[in-house]
Structure 1
Amino acid sequence: MEICRFWGPGGDRFAQQLVARGIAVQMVETGYEAIFPDERTMETCLCEAQAVTDERVFFRSDD
């Protein structure tokens, strides 16, 4: 399980796309927390973030 927090103007749209892909997303503090089943899935989704929204999204992984 991999956890990543994200926020920013594009955060809402990115959260919607993750939920549509079956990724658990919840609101935390001023952004979102996504729980990915594995590191590969997380990397794939994060790499595709630019295609999802043209607004900024900031990420922090809980490593």
Structure 2
Amino acid sequence: MTKPVISCDPDVMGGTPVFAGTRVPIQTLLDYLEAGDSIDEFLAGFPSVTRTQVIEFLEQAKDHLVAAAS
């Protein structure tokens, strides 16, 4: 079983979805990407998040969207 990428805990950032083991909201990554910033720029600003976590989150989001469209 793989480690969860996202954590939602009422005691961490009021339950906002964050990258597991960090206090970095998932929304922050989405905001960076929406603004045209790269994953590398995001990772430079949030070193507690790993590239593996970002890629796994994006893959899970893609899989969820593709499954919902089927």
Q: Same-fold call, TM > 0.5?
A: no
Q: Which has the larger radius of gyration?
A: 2
Pick the structure with more strand per residue: 1
TM-score, with structure 1 as normaliser: 0.32
